[in-house]
Amino acid sequence: MSEFEPKVVAFVCNWCTYAGADLTGTSRIRYASNVKIIRFPCTGRIDFMLLLKSFANGADGIIVSGCHPNDCHYTSGNFHAKRRWIMFKELMDFMGIDMNRITFSWVSAAEGARWAEVVNTTVARIRELGPYVSYKQMVNTAVEEEVTND
């Protein structure tokens, strides 16, 4: 069996982290290729259901990243996001969904090197944790049930 390659989905905001990730590329900084970046207008747009959807569709880890507090392009989107993630984290902890698999970070458009670091540390952590078996099992049982019902 080949070595486990983590699948990591990154939800990033258009104005800071996406531009930051762009800078990582133009600065020729090498970083883990396991990450799939999805661009959003703002961290305030990132619905918690999207995170659950990525786990359901096979992600092993998630990165959510946007502008530093006070740097939001829309003034307050990241503050709203912050409150949402505080509550989301508490709920996930309570329901036993592993929050070590989700990285929340602030990466500005000037922090190309920092983006590489965030991705690398997340991918290394997920590699250690292994595939998210328990969540996948939950989804797979659901799919199997559906097939047998048909």
Q: Where on the chain is the footprint of another protein (CB under 8 A)?
A: 48-49, 52-53, 56, 69-70, 76, 79-80, 82-91, 93-99, 103-106, 118, 134, 138-139, 141-142, 145-146
φ, ψ for residue 123, nearest 5 deg: -60, -40
Of 38 and 138, nearer to another protein (C-beta) is 138
In angstroms, give the least distance from the CB of 148 to another protein: 11
Of 2 and 53, nearer to another protein (C-beta) is 53
Of 11 and 85, nearer to another protein (C-beta) is 85
Of 23 and 64, nearer to another protein (C-beta) is 64
In angstroms, give the least distance from the CB of 62 to another protein: 13
CA pair distance 117, 80, nearest whole angstrom = 25
Of 2 and 137, nearer to another protein (C-beta) is 137
Per-residue CA distances from 85 to 17, 56, 111 (Å): 17, 19, 22
CA pair distance 134, 144, nearest whole angstrom = 15
Contacts of 13 (CB under 8 A, 6+ apart): 39, 40, 41, 42, 43, 65, 66, 67, 73, 77, 78
In angstroms, give the least distance from the CB of 2 to another protein: 27
Q: What is the CA radius of gyration of the chain?
A: 16
In angstroms, give the least distance from the CB of 37 to another protein: 17
CA pair distance 115, 105, nearest whole angstrom = 9
In angstroms, give the least distance from the CB of 82 to another protein: 6
